[in-house]
Amino acid sequence: MKTIIPDMVFQEESNECGLSCIAMLAQTQNISCSLPALREIFPASDHGTSLSDLSAILQQLGIATVPVLFDHDEIHALPFPSILHYGASHYVLLAWHKGDYVCVMNPAIGQQWLPFSALKKEISGYALILEESPSAGVMSPSAIADVQQAMPGAMSLKETAAVPGIYTLMLLTFLVSLTLFLMPTMVSHAINQAFSDVGNAQFPYLWFILAFVVSTLLALGVRVISERFIRRFVLLNSDIGFSRLLNNPLRFFEKRAPGDIFSRFIAWQGGMLQKIELDNGLRSDWIICVIAIGIMFWISPVLALISAVGIVVMGLISVWAIFRDRWYTQQLQLKSATLNDFLMETLQGVLTIKTAGLETQRKAQFARFSYDLFRCLQRQKVYQQVKEGLYQLTGSLEMVVFMLVVLPLVQAKQISLGDFFAYSFLRQIFTSYVTRLFYAVIRKSQLHVIDTRARSLFTKRDAASPVFSPLCVDEAPRLAFEQVSFHYDPRRTVLNAVDLILEPGDQVAIVGDSGAGKSTLLRLMAGLFSAQHGRILLNNDEASAQQLALQVWLQSQEDILFNASVLQNITLFDPWYSDSDRGRVEALLTKMALGPVVQALPGGMEALIRESHSALSLGQRQRLMLARALYSTRPILLFDEPTANLDDATAETVIAALCQHCREQGKTLIVVTHSAPILHHFTRVYCLHDGELRDIGQGAPGR
């Protein structure tokens, strides 16, 4: 049976290495199912996926597997391909092996070629191997359709081909490259004329000097034009990429490490700087190579054959280098993401680190992560030197053979002295441009790894999703839940067939134990999550996430202060804000008992604050967030624990102000709280328990 090597599928969420391995194993069985499609149907648990879960998913795909336990020394006997439990709660795919080496498809870092001895150090002894017999109960192929287009190949030029004017730039670059042939032309004619019978004839040096000046100015002009193309290309694609990143649902960000997202995006953005030049080089440099080698064959087929052999050897070196460069790119991407995530976590948790005395522990971790990263960088530098040394050695050996052959030809006058010098220049041009092509291919391969890792950040909107018309209301709409169910893990339902009706102007409190799903319920109301079952209605019409977002304001415990003024943090950079709105902002600060506090800041409402050093206490920061919510013109206000950092007296004042504001403005108010003393402010109180929402009347339970 022919061995099928699958395409590398990188995990995008922290706990979906198992799904990535399933996608790759399916490829080896000629079954196409993308990771996004698998994630949609079989979402990974926050605690990972067990071997039995993987087997059950593969069973539904029509791939029969058997979980096995083996001794470490028996790993050679495993049938390939197979899914191996690797390290701590991680899975890899063993694609194939040759001798004592095995191809390991690791969803976290990419493809590796490892000896069995190195693999034994990380394995647990559990694996999932293929059965010979087909499975029953196969899921329909249409149920797991590929939801994304295939990733362009590593050598694809389609991305830059769509840039307006790119072929004009390519033509200009090609013309500049053609001017390189001026030098061998001039040298050949000058030397041949000097040693010929017409040696005293006047040589057109002035014309050649003028041509060199023009070619230099042309090269400068093309560089200026090229940089303009690159700037437009990078800025446009960066803006589009950042926009698509922000268009991802909230759950996307909750299941990914910030450092990993940051590293993938920055690496992808940096790669954009090189794509136009690399692609234009691949489009035109080969033509220069063909012209150069053609003239070289015309001068001397034997010498040209020597150069061609040297290029073949360089090509073989490049093929070897492509795989090594990919591996180092994957490793550096992973280790950089780990270090970035650690730094972000440290900066965000510096208060905990200081109070708990964790400085030594964090320093030790930083030293370990830094060591891993820079050790990899050091090895990459050594490898780069080996690669460049092999290129240089090949070029030097080719030069030695060239001199051994060409000097007797010159002495025998089979090649004129002018042709010898011209050939030497042509050989330099040919070698230079072939080397550029090899480096372009290697760099394109590296960028393909970076693009593949970044691809999951840029989720495209589903063109087949239903289109909802804008909701036009003059007052708070009627909000209703009909049999709404939601889960993060299919094995544990958070909300189970919830029914809820909120009339315009209702003031409702929701209570329940921690982890009952109260915050999840608010996020469904705000359109941040999508229900797996049931409907959410606005004025009796099914509402989209976009419609809910226009009607609902959610103030959650994860809200932050931006690096901006107090005023901008309240208005959230409102483009329609004018000086006439300043009085409204001051009134909101007064309602939240923040007037004197803000006035005491340097600059008052223009004082700069930020999350890490806001010049405000936790309680003052909380009330500033509430003022931000009250500034919003949206008719439905949701608050998640708005009194969490407030004393009882301040909490009473704040809740009374919230309720009064909503009554005056005709807004609907929903508050999630654990504070029983404030419940008497609300017209209705609901309790969320075991996924069910129950109306328990007015006031605190038991009152």
Specify whether 191 is located in the same domain as 135.
no
Specify whether 324 is located in the same domain as 429.
yes
Asked whether residue 502 is domain-assigned, the answer is yes
- Please report, for the domain that includes residue 241, its CATH number: 1.20.1560.10
Sheet holding 684-689, edge to edge: 552-555, 636-640, 668-672, 507-511, 684-689, 692-695
d(CA 183, CA 484): 77
Asked whether residue 421 is domain-assigned, the answer is yes
Give the residue from 455, 489, 509 where a domain finishes.
Answer: 455
Asked whether residue 464 is domain-assigned, the answer is no
Task: Give the sign of the dihedral formed by CA 538, CA 544, CA 550, CA 554.
Answer: positive
Give the pLDDT confidence score for residue 198 in this predicted structure: 54
Give the pLDDT confidence score for residue 457 in this predicted structure: 85
Q: Which pair of tokens denotes residue 647?
A: 């004393």
Distance of CA 613 to the CA centre of its chain: 29
How many structural domains comprise the chain?
3
Specify whether 208 is located in the same domain as 284.
yes
Give φ, ψ of 125 to 5 degrees.
105, 5
Specify whether 442 is located in the same domain as 567.
no
Whether residue 50 contacts residue 159, with contact meaning beta carbons closer than 8 Å, is answered with no
Specify whether 419 is located in the same domain as 510.
no
d(CA 540, CA 477): 9
Residue range of the domain that includes 314: 165-455
Whether residue 546 contacts residue 527, with contact meaning beta carbons closer than 8 Å, is answered with yes
Specify whether 111 is located in the same domain as 201.
no
Give φ, ψ of 452 to 5 degrees.
-65, -40
- Please report, for the domain that includes residue 563, its CATH number: 3.40.50.300
Specify whether 130 is located in the same domain as 191.
no
Burial of residue 329 (number of CB atoms within 10 Å: 0-12, 13-18, 19+): buried
Residues 6+ apart with CB under 8 A from 172: 218, 221, 222, 225
Give the pLDDT confidence score for residue 209 in this predicted structure: 85
Cα distances from 647 to residues 424, 449, 626, 655, 679, in angstroms, run 85, 53, 15, 12, 15
- What residues form DSSP beta bridges with 569? none
Helix, strand or coil, per DSSP, at residue 338? helix
Whether residue 250 contacts residue 184, with contact meaning beta carbons closer than 8 Å, is answered with no
Asked whether residue 11 is domain-assigned, the answer is no
Give the pLDDT confidence score for residue 46 in this predicted structure: 60
Asked whether residue 465 is domain-assigned, the answer is no
Q: Which of 289, 258, 276, 299 is nearest to 421 (CA)?
A: 299
Alpha carbons within 13 angstroms on the beta-carbon side of residue 487 total 15
d(CA 94, CA 460): 31
Specify whether 175 is located in the same domain as 130.
no
Reply yes or no: is the peptide bond before residue 504 cis, omega within 30 of 0: no
Asked whether residue 191 is domain-assigned, the answer is yes
- H or E element: which one contains 33? none
d(CA 556, CA 446): 41
Give the pLDDT confidence score for residue 196 in this predicted structure: 66
Specify whether 360 is located in the same domain as 504.
no
pTM over 0.75: no
Residues 6+ apart with CB under 8 A from 383: 324, 328
Specify whether 251 is located in the same domain as 140.
no
Give the residue from 401, 420, 455 where a domain finishes.
Answer: 455
Give the pLDDT confidence score for residue 702 in this predicted structure: 37
User: Residue 685's CB: how many other CB atoms inside 10 A?
Assistant: 23
Asked whether residue 703 is domain-assigned, the answer is no
DSSP string, 120-156: HTTEEEEEEEE-SSPPSSPPPGGGG---SPPPPPTT-
Q: Which pair of tokens denotes residue 186?
A: 């001039």
Alpha carbons within 13 angstroms on the beta-carbon side of residue 4 total 12
Give the pLDDT confidence score for residue 137 in this predicted structure: 43
d(CA 524, CA 535): 11
**238-277 core/surface letters (b: 16 or more CB in 10 A; e: else):** eeebeeebeeeeeebeebbbebbbbbbbebbbebbebbbb
Give the pLDDT confidence score for residue 138 in this predicted structure: 45
Give the pLDDT confidence score for residue 215 in this predicted structure: 85
Whether residue 84 contacts residue 21, with contact meaning beta carbons closer than 8 Å, is answered with no
Asked whether residue 8 is domain-assigned, the answer is no
User: Residue 697's CB: how many other CB atoms inside 10 A?
Assistant: 11
DSSP string, 439-493: HHHHHHHHHHHHHHHHHTTSPPPPTTSPP-PPP--SSPPPEEEEEEEEEEETTEE
Specify whether 59 is located in the same domain as 197.
no
Specify whether 86 is located in the same domain as 195.
no
Give the residue from 423, 455, 487 where a domain finishes.
Answer: 455
If the chain, 703 residues long, is cut into consecutive pieces of 10 residues, what is the mean pLDDT of each piece? 77 82 90 83 71 84 83 80 83 86 85 81 83 49 46 75 86 88 79 64 77 88 89 84 85 82 88 89 90 90 90 87 83 84 84 84 90 92 91 89 87 82 87 88 86 80 42 72 88 89 93 90 91 91 88 90 91 89 92 91 90 78 92 93 87 92 93 90 92 78 39
- Please report, for the domain that includes residue 48, its CATH number: 3.90.70.10
Give the pLDDT confidence score for residue 619 in this predicted structure: 85
Give the pLDDT confidence score for residue 474 in this predicted structure: 54
